[in-house]
Amino acid sequence: MLVLTAATVSELFAPDDVAAGRMLAAELPIRVTRCELGRRVSTALVSVGSLAVAVEAEDDGGEFAIAFWCPHDGAGRCAHAAAALIVLAEREDPFRVGGGGDGGHASAEAALEPWERALRGVLEDPPDPEGERGEIALLFAVRAAGPADPQGAGVAIRPAVRGARGAWIRTGLSWRDVAEERSADPRRAALADLEAMHASRENFAAVGERLRSRGHRSRYGAGWGAPDWIRLDALPGAGLWRALRGAHAAGVEFVADGAGQPAVVLEEAEAAPQIDLRMVRDRLWVEAVAGPGSPAGRPLVVGAPSVAVARRGPGGQVASLARFAEPASAEFDALGRAGHLSIPADRLDDFARDFLPRLRQIAPTVSSDGSYEIPAPPRPTLVVAVRHADPHARVYWEWERPGGVVDRALEREILADVDRAAGDFARLVARQRADPLPPARDLGPDETVEFLAEVMPALRRLDDVRVELHGEVPTYTFATEDPVVTIGGHASGRDWFELNIVVTIQGEPVASGDLIRALAHGRTYFTLLSGTTFPLLGENFARLRDILAEARALDDPTSDRVRIGRYRVDLWDELAEIGIVARQQSAWFDALRRLRERAFVRRDPPASFRGVLRDYQRDGVAWLDLLRRHRLGGILADDMGLGKTVQVLAALEHARIDEPGARFLVVTPTSVVGHWVAEAARFAPALAPAALTETTRKRGTPVAEATEGATLVVTSYAILRLDQEELQAAGFRVVVLDEAQQVKNLASRGHAAARLLGAPTTFAVTGTPLENDVMELFAISALVAPGLFGTRAHFRSHFHHAISREGDTRRLAELRARLRPFLLRRTKEAVAPELPAKTEQVLEVPLAPEHRRAYEKRFRREQQKLLGLLEDVEKNRIQILASLTTLRRHALDPAFAGVEGPSAKLDALGALLDEVVADGHRVLVFSQFTEFLGRAAQVADDRGIGYAYLDGSASQGQRERMIERFHAGDLPAFFISLKAGGVGLTLTEADYCVLLDPWWNPAAEAQAVDRAHRIGQERPVVVYRLISAGTIEQKVLELQDRKRRLFEDVLGSADAQAVAALGPEDLRAILGDVPRD
């Protein structure tokens, strides 16, 4: 057994530490709170006041080594460790539980007289056996400082329970009890929270960690060594007031220790840390107080830093607690512990100069009895420095503080004044809430105007703000009159006007280029050379800014100039509404208005025109004429069969008369060149038409010589591509692109050649300006109305993606509105109600069994190949279309599938021919595949039915002879390939049409049918579509329906959701189902 004696203490500690330890053992409550006796290592935890000192003794073969750990001094040997060892030495068995002796309490008991000890034992109020579940209180007392406490007296607390005689007693409950028991009682839990805030809790944790790190099993728990009383000014301020209120709300009574045990009240009114300055007998007393209404003397603060103050009652006991609105500063608490300071009268000036400003930073200063007149504090100055570099400025801020004293409260007041002065422009002086200053800020051009014109003058009116200007800073004054806007333009290229905007402010003109740049760059203000500034914020300027932004996007976004295309009727209309349009544009605007409103006046054809026009055709001539007279182009998109050719010829006859010497060019498919020449000679012979059917190289004569004397030149797209330079040099005034879908591909040579012709007016004539995709419409409009939709990239992003992929109805409406003045389309139902009815019927033809099996086998093979190609449709488009064409051929005829046997579709055709011819009707038979068309003609041969035959291999002469034979009425059938006869023919002698195979493009089929169903037809027209059942042909029909809706959406009024180009999903839909019997 380890024996500890006073000699052991003297051997281990220095004499001063021994003496100090004995003093601590006599004056402080010291208790052995835990001990552990081991075979080699024994430990004890001794509470010395508020500190927990760990003692460790190790038996090393009969030699004992003793180590200490003190939270105050670490592992060194100090007075606290000496005091702990002294108490352990008084025990019979120092490290055994119940080893006898209780430190300071035993010493205190020994100091009592025998009679005193006896009376104390008799008169001590015994604890109530129900105390654990009964009333609980927190005793408050003003106690002198212990060695570990803050200096001076302070308020301390300890738990208590109600005794059997009604008084609150201390022996029934301790801090150790509430910390260890983990009670569900909310009152005890609230007290445990207060105990946990005591600094010794952290000390215990550090001791336990040290012992565990040495590998010893520890029984140490929370709360060891907590003193009887806990000083409130030693607890952390954060959360302390909340913990006290929580305990009170849980039912813990707050009671003053001492006579009568009166209740301690939690005041509703808040207290405030203050520094009281009073004159006492010609000296200035400086004292920290907790106002208002606190008595003189050291404040009894709660928390460190203090968050509340305890007030005493008449008997000196704690009477109430009052919370501070904000925690006090550490300097205030230190000043409070120092008590009052007395300053002689001859040093008052020094005090006011050197110390008073700093005291103001600690807490507000008052003179409670008015005996000292507190000097007004020196006010800081907020310096605002402005450096201007036109059109920008840099603003930075700093405080100018007299004596270097920081008065945050006063500075916050000045910053609040700055915010109010800035008013609507407060964003220019904004700062984070906790920042002492607005940040240095680089101002943009508009912000510079706002700051210099509005904010800076307001700041100069503030007493505590000084504005410093670095460099030359302009003076801005806002205009008092509204600007006068005049808008004009001058020609800039064939199809553009360069915009000229003239603004006058108070009689001072504004440079057009500068204003346009300011608007285009999004400026909010514009400043004249005189310094007069006006905002570009009105509704007119906002609309003008939007117009300019769109115009720049359509032309050149990087250029300072702004050009608007002649065809942008919508933009010109908006400009006209904003300002006064220059006189030279008035006729131009009038023409645009009439185009948009379809308000053009019908113009009778000239006397030289040899034809009678219907009313809608006269409207079409007037529309074409109006466009031509204003050097504009357009798209004539009437239904097939409504006489587009004759309308164009009448308009060209007007042009010949209006512009003597002018020449015109019609570009058309090769097969229709002769038709145009014939129609021109018939209706407008004064045009002296001439055909160019050979290239200059093949003909051996230049274009000028070959067309000498001709006002109207008709050529083909093939010749245009090859002789484009010569045709461009001919200087045609009007170019007509017939069947303009031929140049719908932007990347084609034909489109490039047509674009380079450079005629003042270009007309596109087509019943199908849109077949597969809205980009085709852009391609044609770019030829006839350059600039209408801007660049290809702009159209693709603004219209194509929004309409085709997203079904954006707003963009679709915008596209229609912009296109409306330059596209004229009438349907047969609307303008030719007398036209006979057209009936269409789909006949599904089942394949023969052998044909079906061969088709399915081929389908599976092509399906597997195609599904792999769909990941990149654009790259693999040629292979995809080749495979799809193979499938269409295999679905059409067994011979194409390598199968011998009858063709179900040809059998069905034979039956139709027998029926139609027997009833005296005449029929047109169309196919996309010339090989199959020949097999179909053989069906007529086999039945002895006379027929004409036309495909792409026929020469112009052969073509004309075939057409004449059919016109003559000798032949009941006409077999025509879709490509060779789909356009340029009038075959109203026929009243039946048979389409042997569906084509991807429904417009091409419609054109073929309209060879018969057109003006001049007097009988109802019947159309049969022969479809191989259960094959790819049925999928093609579904796609045709989608493309019809696309056409109607853009040119009509259908739902935009149907607009979509043929893409990967469409192709997957075609290939998704394997056909079944």
**Does the pLDDT at position 732 exceed 60?**
yes
**Does the pLDDT at position 206 exceed 60?**
no
DSSP 3-state helix, strand, coil percentages of the chain (rounded to 5)? 45, 20, 35
Tens of pLDDT, residue by residue over 340-397, are: 889 999 999 899 888 888 888 888 889 988 899 988 878 889 999 999 988 889 999 9
Per-residue confidence (pLDDT) for residue 486, from 0 to 100: 62
Tens of pLDDT, residue by residue over 558-587, are: 555 555 656 666 666 666 665 544 444 455
Tens of pLDDT, residue by residue over 21-80, are: 888 887 777 878 777 777 777 888 888 876 778 888 887 766 778 888 776 666 667 888
Which of 246-255, 445-454, 853-862, 1045-1054 bottoms out in mean pLDDT, i.e. has the lowest? 1045-1054
> What's the whole-model pTM score?
0.47
d(CA 274, CA 587): 84
Closest CA to 464 of 414, 405, 406: 414
Q: Are 738 and 676 in contact (CB under 8 A)?
A: yes
1057 to each of 798, 799, 806, how far by Cα in Å? 16, 14, 7
Per-residue confidence (pLDDT) for residue 587, from 0 to 100: 54
User: What band does 986 get if pLDDT is binned at 50, 70 and 90?
Assistant: confident
Per-residue confidence (pLDDT) for residue 974, from 0 to 100: 95
> How many other CB atoms are there within 10 angstroms of residue 34's CB atom?
20
43 to each of 25, 65, 85, how far by Cα in Å? 20, 12, 12
User: What band does 605 get if pLDDT is binned at 50, 70 and 90?
Assistant: confident
d(CA 330, CA 361): 12
Is the N-terminal amide bond of 439 cis, ω within 30° of 0?
no
**Does the pLDDT at position 244 exceed 80?**
yes
Token pair of 595, please?
């185009």
Maximum distance among all alpha carbons in the chain?
156
More confident residue, 202 or 398: 398
Per-residue confidence (pLDDT) for residue 741, from 0 to 100: 86
d(CA 454, CA 421): 9
User: What band does 398 get if pLDDT is binned at 50, 70 and 90?
Assistant: very high
Burial class (CB in 10 A: 0-12, 13-18, 19+), 1046: buried
Per-residue confidence (pLDDT) for residue 65, from 0 to 100: 81
Please write down the long-range contacts of 373-381, taking CB distance under 8 Å and 24 or more positions apart.
374/277, 377/407, 377/410, 378/402, 378/403, 378/405, 379/410, 379/414, 379/464, 380/407, 380/410, 380/411, 380/414, 380/464, 381/464, 381/465, 381/466
Which of 555-569, 742-756, 879-893, 1046-1060 bottoms out in mean pLDDT, i.e. has the lowest? 1046-1060
**Does the pLDDT at position 1047 exceed 60?**
no
Mean pLDDT for 598-616 is: 83
Mean pLDDT for 160-164 is: 87
Q: Are 191 and 146 in contact (CB under 8 A)?
A: no
Per-residue confidence (pLDDT) for residue 200, from 0 to 100: 45
Please write down the HEC assignment for all residues of 509-533: EECHHHHHHHHHCCCCEEECCCCEE
Q: Are 1062 and 1000 in contact (CB under 8 A)?
A: yes
In the sheet that holds 823-824, the strands lie side by side as 690-692, 712-716, 664-668, 734-738, 761-765, 634-636, 823-824
Per-residue confidence (pLDDT) for residue 50, from 0 to 100: 66
d(CA 957, CA 972): 21
Q: Are 139 and 157 in contact (CB under 8 A)?
A: yes
β-strand pairing of 265-266 with 318-323: parallel
29 three-state secondary structure? coil
DSSP per-residue letters across 928-988:
S-HHHHHHHHHHHHHTT--EEEE-TT--HHHHHHHHHHHHTT--SEEEEEHHHHSSS---T
Token pair of 1060, please?
């979509």
**Does the pLDDT at position 938 exceed 80?**
yes
> How many other CB atoms are there within 10 angstroms of residue 793's CB atom?
9
d(CA 653, CA 736): 13
Most confident of 521-525, 674-678, 799-803: 674-678
Mean pLDDT for 705-724 is: 94
Per-residue confidence (pLDDT) for residue 102, from 0 to 100: 44
Per-residue confidence (pLDDT) for residue 127, from 0 to 100: 45
Place of tokens 């007075």: 79
- Could you give the residue ranges of the DSSP H alpha helices within 687-819? 696-699, 703-706, 717-722, 724-729, 749-756, 774-784, 792-795, 809-819
Query: Which residue type sits at 801?
Result: H
Per-residue confidence (pLDDT) for residue 103, from 0 to 100: 40
High-pLDDT (> 90) share of the chain, %: 30
Q: Identify the DSSP state of 664.
A: E
Residue 944 falls in which region: left (phi positive, over 0), alpha (psi -120 to 50) or beta: left
Per-residue confidence (pLDDT) for residue 590, from 0 to 100: 64
Q: Are 748 and 680 in contact (CB under 8 A)?
A: no
Per-residue confidence (pLDDT) for residue 589, from 0 to 100: 59
Residue 24 falls in which region: left (phi positive, over 0), alpha (psi -120 to 50) or beta: alpha
d(CA 179, CA 939): 110
Q: Identify the DSSP state of 314.
A: T
User: What band does 925 get if pLDDT is binned at 50, 70 and 90?
Assistant: very high
Most confident of 524-533, 825-834, 946-955: 946-955
Per-residue confidence (pLDDT) for residue 251, from 0 to 100: 94
Place of tokens 């409009």: 781
User: What band does 827 get if pLDDT is binned at 50, 70 and 90?
Assistant: confident
Per-residue confidence (pLDDT) for residue 458, from 0 to 100: 93
**Bridge partners of 118?**
none
Per-residue confidence (pLDDT) for residue 212, from 0 to 100: 38
Q: Are 317 and 288 in contact (CB under 8 A)?
A: no
Per-residue confidence (pLDDT) for residue 580, from 0 to 100: 45
The overall average pLDDT reported for the chain is: 80
